[in-house]
Chains A and B, each alone.
Chain A
Amino acid sequence: MMPRAKLKAQKVEAAQALLADRTLPEGGAWITKARNAAQARVRDMGLPTKRDEYWRYTDPRRLTDAGVVAGALHDTKGEPLVFDQIDRIKLVFVDGVFDEQASDPLVLDGVEICQLSQAARTDLHWARDLYGSLDARAQSPVERPLASLNTAYATEGVLIRVTGKPQKPISLIYLRKSETADAMLHHVIRVEAGAEATVLENGPIATRFNQVMEVDIADGGTLHHIRAQGRDHERVGSAHLFARLGEGAHLKSFTLTANGALIRNDSIIWLDGAGGSAHVAGATVGDGAFHHDDTVFITHGAPRCESRQVFKKVLRGGAVGVFQGKILVDQIAQLTDGYQISQSLLLDENAQFLAKPELEIYADDVKCSHGSTSGEIDDNQLFYLRARGVPEDTAKTLLVLAFLAEALDEIADSAFADDLRTRLEAWFERRG
């Protein structure tokens, strides 16, 4: 075992090496302040290693390694992208860079949308109190240097301020056209009191990506977040979702992950106001050289809040799925209702699921439950379907979708859920 001090020195050294030839992007006073602070955090924490508690099952080196990033593009064979049938305002990024030509005008009733690159040039912006602030807050009790790295160096992203109830979802579309792009995206979303919006994300982003989304939901506000992370196999990336919820605020976040050599999704949520709710769900399908890690940390910091974590993973052909989920209940958070379930369906003997559920409770009047299971397709169910004439492959697909249903059911709007379900069906049909 390496002594702690030596390990820390190595992490700091790795950060120094990574930052040595990088200069912080130019920008206005507010963002420069946030970037400087974030850069200092990275220098101080160093880069993550597999010896860190929250990286035990996933090796972070590929997310920060120097050298050329490369990965073949995935041929979608002309298939329409997810959410294509849904009326929405489209913001297109190509290899992590905003594409104004391909995007809709950033005009929608009830919302202000602004590119990060433009806002960064101004000296004063509503995002100034938010950009990097949730990243900073999230560094304790668990260090998250990748997020600070992003806050310091990201130049692309959008700042969304929801002031009303926009009629259409705001759709972030991430196209990947380069085999070597290494992208950073930083989004900030502020949902004002009583406002409500839906934010969609879809696409592979880039060959390597580091994404941060900071969300602040004021009292009584609601955000629906639905994300489909694309099908490109040769891709590594990390995405942090930070969300702070005020009194009676609601967040529903759902992520579909299919393929990817290494995808790590961190969701860090604070229920700061009484009566709020946060639902985080994920459905994952992985085949072959696939490593996918969902890490969730929900803090109940006020009474009468509800949280749900529902994660389902279907793995085959050597795919690895990881779930690390924590519910932390502060002393003040009486009458907390916390639920967490993580389940995997292993379609062959080579697939692997690693789960680490955690509860840390300081209040005495709470209801918290958690469960984690790992299993195969149920032979009785399979035979029952076949005995009714359903061919084996179809029966298996039906059972796999049934397994994923509890996670998909977390999506409030069935139009989105149906769209994702169709994609999942096709994913299995292609594999037979």
Chain B
Amino acid sequence: MLEIKNLHAELEDDSEVKILKGLSLKVNPGEVHAIMGPNGSGKSTLSYVLSGRDGYTVTDGSATLEGVDLLEMEAEERAAAGLFLAFQYPVEIPGVGNMTFLRTAVNAQRKARGQEELSAGEFLKVVRAKAKDLQIDADMLKRPVNVGFSGGEKKRNEILQMAMLEPKMCILDETDSGLDVDAMKLVADGVNALRDAGRSFLVITHYQRLLDHIVPDVVHILSEGRIIKTGGPELALEVERNGYADLMAEAQA
């Protein structure tokens, strides 16, 4: 599904700041991979470079989605190709209704893929059903995108977008940050409901606790722009117990 080979990236404005330094990983269809790592290891940069945010220069390596080069595409083309990034900090857009936003996004992607656009009625039916599962009420759908939403509401709104857009490859960037236990469970349930053989996930997190709810197939440890260790779910527990220091020392040895 997603294959990243020897990815190197630096800040566009300051080529001295090299963030990804040879990152490689491969996510197969239907798999859930977790990436853990200390602050500054390059977790969020990875999500931005994959989703096409300006401000980074890829100096080496490749990233492909189902064999198609992601790095050559515009952000919106990557989305239409099936890539989805659940933002760590979902952006507030005053003046744009949540519903308008969702419908514009869904129809833009359908159009890009040569599918018929959804009519207002069809769209409404689908969005209402999916919103209900995530306990998103009508009021939240009417309000401007993320404006005045609590931390939990913003993250639920991300998952609603994911559910509506039905991507193949979902990247969750610290989706657990700012969530209490109940909100995390709700978000995790939303994600788990979307797990299927044709859809893969890359879950970026600081902490193991999210992985209790979204159980990964593979766990990677990211440090200084490289994957330093890969293992099963037990690797996340190890980090939880001992922190990253031992793993980093081990990698340097």
Chain A contacts to B: CB under 8 angstroms: 379-381, 383-392, 394-395, 398-399, 401-406
Q: Please list 19 pairs of residues, one from A and one from B, whose beta carbons are closer than 8 Å in the complex, sorted by A's number.
A: A383-B53, A383-B75, A384-B87, A384-B90, A385-B105, A386-B52, A387-B51, A387-B75, A388-B109, A388-B161, A388-B165, A391-B108, A392-B76, A394-B108, A398-B96, A398-B101, A401-B95, A402-B94, A406-B95
CB-CB under 8 A from B53, the residues of chain A are 383, 387
Does B70 belong to the interface (CB within 8 Å)? no
Would you call A389 and B93 a contact (CB within 8 A)? no
Would you call A384 and B76 a contact (CB within 8 A)? no
Would you call B108 and A390 a contact (CB within 8 A)? yes
Segment 77-135 of B: residues with Cβ below 8 Å from A: 78-80, 85, 87, 90-91, 93-96, 100-101, 104-105, 108-109, 112
CB-CB under 8 A from A399, the residues of chain B are 93, 95-96
Would you call A392 and B93 a contact (CB within 8 A)? no
Not counting A387-B85, A402-B94, A404-B95, a sample of 13 additional A-B residue pairs whose C-beta atoms are within 8 angstroms of each other reads: A381-B91, A381-B93, A386-B74, A387-B75, A388-B79, A388-B161, A389-B112, A392-B76, A394-B108, A398-B101, A399-B93, A399-B96, A405-B94
For the complex, what is the distance from the CA of A402 to the CA of B76, rounded to whole Å? 20
Does B196 belong to the interface (CB within 8 Å)? no
CB-CB under 8 A from A384, the residues of chain B are 87, 90-91, 93
Does B54 belong to the interface (CB within 8 Å)? yes
CB-CB under 8 A from A390, the residues of chain B are 76, 104-105, 108
For the complex, what is the distance from the CA of A394 to the CA of B85, rounded to whole Å? 20
Best-buried of B90, B94, B100, B112 by chain A (most CB within 10 Å) = B94
CB-CB under 8 A from A392, the residues of chain B are 74, 76
Would A389 and B80 be within 8 Å (CB), given that A394-B104, A401-B95, A402-B93 are in contact? yes
> What's the minimum C-beta distance from A123 to chain B, rounded to whole angstroms?
53
Q: How many residues of B contact A (CB 8 A)?
A: 28
> What's the minimum C-beta distance from B170 to chain A, rounded to whole angstroms?
12
For the complex, what is the distance from the CA of A403 to the CA of B144, rounded to whole Å? 12
For the complex, what is the distance from the CA of A375 to the CA of B76, rounded to whole Å? 24
List the 3 shortest-distance A-B pairs measured between CB atoms, nearest first: A402-B95, A389-B79, A405-B95
For the complex, what is the distance from the CA of A379 to the CA of B55, rounded to whole Å? 11
Would you call B54 and A383 a contact (CB within 8 A)? yes
> What's the minimum C-beta distance from B154 to chain A, rounded to whole angstroms?
12
Would you call B76 and A386 a contact (CB within 8 A)? yes
> What's the minimum C-beta distance from B168 to chain A, rounded to whole angstroms?
13
Closest residue to A388 on the B side, CB-wise? B105
Closest residue to B104 on the A side, CB-wise? A390
CB-CB under 8 A from A404, the residues of chain B are 95
For the complex, what is the distance from the CA of A390 to the CA of B110, rounded to whole Å? 11
> What's the minimum C-beta distance from B209 to chain A, rounded to whole angstroms?
26
> What's the minimum C-beta distance from B124 to chain A, rounded to whole angstroms?
18
Would you call A379 and B54 a contact (CB within 8 A)? yes
CB-CB under 8 A from A406, the residues of chain B are 95
Would A389 and B109 be within 8 Å (CB), given that A379-B54, A383-B75, A394-B104 are in contact? yes
For the complex, what is the distance from the CA of A174 to the CA of B175, rounded to whole Å? 55
Best-buried of B80, B96, B112 by chain A (most CB within 10 Å) = B96
